[in-house]
């Protein structure tokens, strides 16, 4: 695309100098580290760096046009001045990458917990339906079977538009993506044409960023107010899928003009689960859709996963898929890596690796385990550094109240002192309870598995699929599943 054509997508701008030599844009980017010859660089004022201070670097690396909101020196290289470069970035990237979301069925999933799980189930359903699928979320970006690394759960808008564009080129028809509250506030999904927006739940998280639960709820609501406002004559239209057992889910009905499909267990939802029975190997329940009812036996464990299954069913049903075909996939779905992932061993001590890193997530994981454990429950848990401090004592209290042996350790301490994070957690320990602490996560896992007896379960919470630990500025290889397997192996050899 020619530069002149690209910037035509911006209605309000001032180009300095007024005339310049047009060129074919090789790359649109906000990141100097990506720049190649003939790039257009957008200067973004970030939380750490102001992109306007990097313009010289951008020019040196081959940028041929700069988009800025403050005065910058570029010699003869044209600068396009706009009011707000972040908003301009959304417009430019949508135009540059041919508004690819419009060519795709986009299912966006938001909520505190369950986004990764629901997006994976949705992906599996559409795959089984014979479609090529895309997935964007915490673990990776996926185009068909190709896995691309990712930095954020919801990428910045340029990376997102670029990824969607690639998906269209490769024949993807449905993409399921996680939409984080932080991304919604930062405009990382501005201009994305969602077809189905799913709300899972809202409980405490990210208050370091949002400050209040009201702000956090408002952030989530943006996905629903962004959902198309006109009713298409030739398509299914836009659909909001809401968990109405959650009060925020009920509130969201007022934030969208889209058609609504509700799901739940307690309230009289349009899609509802009843007669739920949780076992160690799976869950049985009836799924009711208006007057129809099916009995399901799924491999995923826990009440919260029933919610995730209902959400995914609703998203697929909203897209016109046959209920019986959807149900086949739901029953076969094996679960997601690092979400209540069971590691059994001949010692009859089992470990469960779970990504619960919020109070509600931890409570759900422990309640589920308590539903089927035969012996005692050990809970190895830590809290991430540079994240919401308020959740630390709450998670600690839940670990104490719902497990027999709480063991506090490090999650990703990041720039914080690991022991200081554990000390924050210790504030939540109920009087009279004793807790073991190990700054070293490997030692904590080993100690729990060492002490456990046949029939006991060791929950290793917080890091799920992560194969690293961030201590200070360093990222080390660390995998809870590998650590649990190694400790169980030693136990097996010793017994």
Ligand X SMILES: CC(=O)N[C@H]1[C@@H](OP(=O)(O)OP(=O)(O)OC[C@H]2O[C@@H](n3ccc(=O)[nH]c3=O)[C@H](O)[C@@H]2O)O[C@H](CO)[C@@H](O)[C@@H]1O[C@H](C)C(=O)N[C@@H](C)C(=O)N[C@H](CCC(=O)O)C(=O)O
Minimum CB separation of residue 202 from ligand X in Å reads 12
d(CA 36, CA 4): 19
Range 245-254 contact pairs with CB under 8 angstroms and sequence separation of 24 or more? 245/269, 245/307, 246/199, 246/201, 246/202, 248/199, 248/201, 248/202, 248/217, 248/220, 249/199, 249/201, 249/202, 251/217, 251/221, 252/199, 252/220, 252/221, 252/224
By CB under 6 A, tell whether 176 contacts ligand ATP: no
286: part of which helix (H) or strand (E)? strand 283-289
**Is residue 360 a contact point for ligand ATP (CB under 6 A)?**
yes
**Shortest reach from residue 248's CB to ligand X, in Å:** 16
**Contact pattern from residue 411 through residue 450 relative to ligand X, giving x for each residue in contact according to CB under 6 A and a dash for the rest:** ----------------------------------------
Q: Is 413 annotated as a binding residue?
A: yes
CA angle, 297 then 299 then 304, to 5°: 90
Sequential DSSP letters for 78-142: -EEE-S-HHHHHHHHHHHHTTTGGGGSEEEEEESSSSHHHHHHHHHHHHHHTT--EEEESSS-EE
As measured in angstroms, the least distance from the Cβ of 387 to ligand API is 5
Residue 141 annotated in ligand binding = no
Q: What angle do CA 37, 39, 43 make, to 5 degrees?
A: 135
Q: What are phi and psi of 153, to 5 degrees?
A: -55, -50
Partners of 383 in the β-ladder: none
- Site stretch for ligand X (CB under 6 A), options 42-50, 311-319, 426-434, 465-473: 42-50
Residues 111-150 that bind Mg ion (CB under 5 A): 115-116, 138
116: contact with ligand API by CB under 6 A = no
Contacting ligand ATP (CB under 6 A), which of 29, 201, 226, 469? Answer: 201
Q: State yes or no: 162 annotated in a binding site.
A: no
Q: What residues does 381 pair with on adjacent strands?
A: 408
Residue 411 site contact among Mg ion, ligand X, ligand API, none (CB < 5 to 8 Å, cut-off depends on kind): ligand API
d(CA 311, CA 121): 9
Candidates 110-118, 283-291, 327-335, 342-350 — which segment interacts with ligand ATP by CB under 6 A? 110-118
Stretch that binds ligand ATP, among 32-40, 114-122, 224-232, 410-418 (CB under 6 A): 114-122
Nearer to ligand API, 257 or 420 (CB): 420
Task: Tell me how far apart the alpha carbons of residues 386 and 413 are, in angstroms, rounded to a whole number.
Answer: 7
Q: How far apart are CA 206 and CA 426, in angstroms?
A: 20
Query: What residue number has its CB nearest to ligand API?
Result: 384
DSSP state of 254: G
Among 101, 116, 153, 329, binds ligand API (CB under 6 A): 153
Among 11, 75, 130, 151, binds ligand X (CB under 6 A): 151
Q: Which residues bind ligand API (CB under 6 A)?
A: 138, 153, 357, 384, 387, 411-412, 462-463, 466
Binding residues: 32, 111-117, 152-154, 180, 186, 188, 387, 411-414, 462, 466
List of residues contacting ligand X (CB under 6 A): 30-33, 44, 46-49, 51, 54, 138, 151-154, 156, 180, 182-183
């Amino acid at each position: 695309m020619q530069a002149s054509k690209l910037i035509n997508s911006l209605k309000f701008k001032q180009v300095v100098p007024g005339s310049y030599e047009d060129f074919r844009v090789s790359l649109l980017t906000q990141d100097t580290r990506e720049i190649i010859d003939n790039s257009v660089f957008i200067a973004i004022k970030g939380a750490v760096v102001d992109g306007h201070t990097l313009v010289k670097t951008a020019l040196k690396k081959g940028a041929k046009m700069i988009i800025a909101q403050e005065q910058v020196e570029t010699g003869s290289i044209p600068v396009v001045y706009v009011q707000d470069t972040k908003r301009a970035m959304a417009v430019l990237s949508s135009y540059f990458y041919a508004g690819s979301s419009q060519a795709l069925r986009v299912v966006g999933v938001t909520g505190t917990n369950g986004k990764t799980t629901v997006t994976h189930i949705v992906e599996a359903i559409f795959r089984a339906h014979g479609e090529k699928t895309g997935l964007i979320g915490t673990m990776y970006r996926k185009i068909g079977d190709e896995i691309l690394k990712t930095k954020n759960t919801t990428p910045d808008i340029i990376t997102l538009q670029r990824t969607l564009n690639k998906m269209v080129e490769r024949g993807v028809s449905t993409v399921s993506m996680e939409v984080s509250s932080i991304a919604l506030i930062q405009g990382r999904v501005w201009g994305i044409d969602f077809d189905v927006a799913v709300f899972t739940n809202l409980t405490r998280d990210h208050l370091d960023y949002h400050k209040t639960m009201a702000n956090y709820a408002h952030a989530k609501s943006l996905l629903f107010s962004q959902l198309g406002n006109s009713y298409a004559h030739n398509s299914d239209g836009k659909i909001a899928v809401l968990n109405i057992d959650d009060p925020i889910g009920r509130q969201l009905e007022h934030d969208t003009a889209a058609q609504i499909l509700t799901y739940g267990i307690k309230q009289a939802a349009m899609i509802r689960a009843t007669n739920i029975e949780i076992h160690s190997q799976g869950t049985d329940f009836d799924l009711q859709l208006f007057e129809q009812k099916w009995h399901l036996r799924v491999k995923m464990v826990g009440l919260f996963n029933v919610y995730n299954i209902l959400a995914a069913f609703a998203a697929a049903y909203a897209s016109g898929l046959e209920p019986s075909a959807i149900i086949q996939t739901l029953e076969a779905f094996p679960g997601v890596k690092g979400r209540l992932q069971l590691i059994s061993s001949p010692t009859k001590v089992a470990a469960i690796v779970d990504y619960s890193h919020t109070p509600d997530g931890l409570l759900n994981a422990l309640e589920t385990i308590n539903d089927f454990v035969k012996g005692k429950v050990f809970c190895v848990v830590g809290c991430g550094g540079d994240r919401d401090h308020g959740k630390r004592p709450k998670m600690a209290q839940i670990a104490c109240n719902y497990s027999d042996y709480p063991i506090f350790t490090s999650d990703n301490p990041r720039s914080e002192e690991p022991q200081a994070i554990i000390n924050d957690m210790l504030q939540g320990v109920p009087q009279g309870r004793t807790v073991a602490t190990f700054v070293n996560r490997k030692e904590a896992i080993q100690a729990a598995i060492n002490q456990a007896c046949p029939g006991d379960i060791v929950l290793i919470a917080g890091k799920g699929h992560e194969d690293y630990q961030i201590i200070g500025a360093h990222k080390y290889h660390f995998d809870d599943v590998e650590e649990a397997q190694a400790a169980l192996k030693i136990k097996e050899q010793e017994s």
